[in-house]
Amino acid sequence: MLMLAVVTVAALALWNYYDGLTRLASEGRHEIDLHVAHLRGLLAKYEPLPELLATNPRLIDFLRAPGGQESIEGLNRYLATINRISDAADTYLMDAEGLTIAASNWQAERPFIGRNFSFRPYFRDAMAGQLGRYFALGTTSRQRGYYFAYPVRDGDDILGAVVVKLDINETEHRWAQPGRIVLVTDPDGVIFISTRPEQRFRTLQPLDPASRARILASNRYPEAALAPLGIREHLHLKAADEDREGALFAPRLVQLDGDNAWHAAIPYLLQSRFMPDAGWQVHLLTDSRALIRESLRLSLLAGALIASASLALVLLRQRQEGRRAHAALAEEARAALERINLELERGVAARTAELTRANQRLRDEIEERRRTEQALRETQQALVQSAKLATLGQMSAGINHELNQPLAAIRTYADNGRLLLAKGRTEEVAANLAQILALTERMAKIGSQLKLFARKTSGEVSALPLAAALESAARLVAPALRQADARLEVEIPPGLEVRANDVLLQQVLVNLLGNACQAVEGRARRLIQIRAWKAEDQVVTQVCDSGPGIPDDNRQLIFEPFFTTKAPGDGLGLGLTISARISADMGGSLGVLPGSEGDGACFELRLPAA
């Protein structure tokens, strides 16, 4: 990429330079044509002048008889006039010996008159009867000039020659312009016109010794060193279109030696044209540095353009790639999010369903349990009730006796009272009535106890004095105690309170006392002992009897429902079961203490202390 850019820029610069050179060459060709035309015009202007002058009888007469009627001064003036009108440098007349006998510059500091120029080729040509043309550095004037000479004839005799010299300094001035060097070389390659004065009389190519000697001998360029200019050629451009005379040379790219290093570095476009009539070559050296600068500028511009275009391209690509990557990333993230979301939703749905199922199961279980509990409670209540009724049934005989006794006593007191009243012993009657009153009170008490026992309980617990609870229970089992002829010993510390339901507690105690009565009935020793004490946060109550006790095998079984060792009608086998259950419900327990058979049974009731 970079390589390509560099190659492109270099190619562009080279192409531009080459194209510029071609353009310069084309311009140069026009310019050189102009210079050639100018030189030709100049020469053409002066060429006929000597011939014209040679036909002048004054010149012929003077040459034929110098010092005759034509005065020298008059001729000099005439030549000066001609010279001024034709704008030539000098116009002069030479005799056959080559001696200048009249000249336009007769009044100048160093006039030509009296000087011999017979060595000049133009003189020799003229004396040979031809038009002499020659370029040389004037030996007297030290001015470069182009000489036209023409023979002055008198019939077939050649008396001398008339010469017109033209100045080329002005031409040089006219050609001078920056960035260009115009040179004109003679057939030997010696530069005799140059817009750069230091190049005058140097040669384009080194001269071979023979030519050098010949030129020096001709005295054409007196005191000229004829050192080579030193042209290094670099590039030969495509062959220039040959003109009619075939005199246009292909332009070349050159550098000049000498001068100084700076000038030596200047690449010039060298173009040359041959002038056949004069034998000269006109050269144009055009400074091509501007072209190089232009090419450099162009390549810089192109480089900058390519660089910025590449940069823009790279940025664009990067941005596109970035956008693509971003979009891909966003799409990926979105897909991942969707996936996770879906999984989450699925998970939540599954979990919710599971939870709903579990919840339903739980609700069902709770409902089931509630129903079971309800049934259990109902069963339990029914059991308690039936147990109570069973106990009541057991107690009914005793109760009957208990009620009949006071009734009989009341009747006796009432009978006695009627008799005593008849006898007027009112005081004794009053005593009998008091007895009756006491007895009815006792009966009423029994009734209320039974009512209390039979009633269904709400199950509420409260702080109860244990002694009172035992007393009312004992009152209920009093008939049984009497029937068994058992002795009840109670040892309860005063103020001992339990947290219990009064009805249920009474039921438990009645049951334990009832069983004890049955156990001691008919035994030699008939003692029932009740002891109670507080142990930490519980109250322990032991009901022990001197009955036969409980065999080890039955110790677990007695708390099972419907386990009984009693005759049908005497026991249902529910008393202990229900009592144990009631105790547990109230936060306590009921158990039988281990003891050897025959020593009697000992039940232990534990209840929370109040």
Residue 483 CA: distances (Å) to CA of 272, 401, 470, 514: 174, 10, 19, 11
Number of alpha carbons in the 13 Å side-chain half-sphere of residue 459:
11
Residue 215, interface with ligand ADP (CB under 6 A)? no
Burial of residue 552 (number of CB atoms within 10 Å: 0-12, 13-18, 19+): exposed
DSSP state of 199: G
Closest residue to ligand ADP in the complex (CB): 571
Q: Under a CB-based contact definition with an 8 Å cutoff, are residues 123 and 149 in contact?
A: yes
Residue 462 CA: distances (Å) to CA of 368, 458, 602: 31, 12, 27
Kind and range of the H or E run holding 185 = strand 180-185
Stretch that binds ligand ADP, among 106-114, 213-221, 343-351, 560-568 (CB under 6 A): 560-568
Q: Minimum CB separation from ligand ADP for residue 574, in Å?
A: 6
- Residue number with CB closer to ligand ADP (190 or 516): 516
Stretch that binds ligand ADP, among 49-57, 339-347, 477-485, 510-518 (CB under 6 A): 510-518
DSSP 222-288: TT----B--EEEEEEPSPPPP-TTS-BPPPEEEEE-SS-HHHHT--EEEEEEEETTTTEEEEEEEE-
- Residue number with CB closer to ligand ADP (459 or 551): 551
Stretch that binds ligand ADP, among 139-147, 251-259, 264-272, 558-566 (CB under 6 A): 558-566
Q: Under a CB-based contact definition with an 8 Å cutoff, are residues 516 and 542 in contact?
A: no
Stretch that binds ligand ADP, among 174-182, 187-195, 292-300, 568-576 (CB under 6 A): 568-576
- Residue number with CB closer to ligand ADP (75 or 572): 572
- Residue number with CB closer to ligand ADP (343 or 485): 485
Cα–Cα distance between 480 and 576 in angstroms, integer? 18
Q: Minimum CB separation from ligand ADP for residue 514, in Å?
A: 7
Cα–Cα distance between 17 and 9 in angstroms, integer? 12
Residue 565, interface with ligand ADP (CB under 6 A)? yes
* Candidate list 111, 145, 267, 575; residue touching ligand ADP; CB under 6 A: 575
Residue 566, interface with ligand ADP (CB under 6 A)? yes
Residue 398, interface with ligand ADP (CB under 6 A)? no
Residue 558, interface with ligand ADP (CB under 6 A)? yes
Cα–Cα distance between 549 and 84 in angstroms, integer? 187
- Residue number with CB closer to ligand ADP (194 or 515): 515
* Candidate list 573, 587, 591, 595; residue touching ligand ADP; CB under 6 A: 573
- Residue number with CB closer to ligand ADP (18 or 563): 563
Q: Under a CB-based contact definition with an 8 Å cutoff, are residues 251 and 28 in contact?
A: yes
Residue 564, interface with ligand ADP (CB under 6 A)? yes
Burial of residue 63 (number of CB atoms within 10 Å: 0-12, 13-18, 19+): buried
DSSP 55-87: T-HHHHHHHHSTTSSS-HHHHHHHHHHHHHHHT
Residue 547, interface with ligand ADP (CB under 6 A)? yes
DSSP state of 488: E
Residue 576, interface with ligand ADP (CB under 6 A)? yes
Q: Minimum CB separation from ligand ADP for residue 562, in Å?
A: 8
Q: Under a CB-based contact definition with an 8 Å cutoff, are residues 161 and 126 in contact?
A: yes
Residue 571, interface with ligand ADP (CB under 6 A)? yes
Residue 402, interface with ligand ADP (CB under 6 A)? no
Cα–Cα distance between 547 and 516 in angstroms, integer? 7
Q: Minimum CB separation from ligand ADP for residue 517, in Å?
A: 8
Give the x-and-dash track for 460-499 against ligand ADP (CB under 6 A): ----------------------------------------
Q: What is the largest CA-CA distance in the chain?
A: 245
Q: Minimum CB separation from ligand ADP for residue 497, in Å?
A: 26
Residue 515, interface with ligand ADP (CB under 6 A)? yes
Q: Minimum CB separation from ligand ADP for residue 507, in Å?
A: 12
Q: Minimum CB separation from ligand ADP for residue 551, in Å?
A: 9
Cα–Cα distance between 473 and 465 in angstroms, integer? 13
Beta bridge partners of 608: 538
Stretch that binds ligand ADP, among 125-133, 189-197, 273-281, 567-575 (CB under 6 A): 567-575
Q: Which residues bind ligand ADP (CB under 6 A)?
A: 511, 515-516, 519, 545, 547-548, 550, 558, 563-566, 571-576, 601
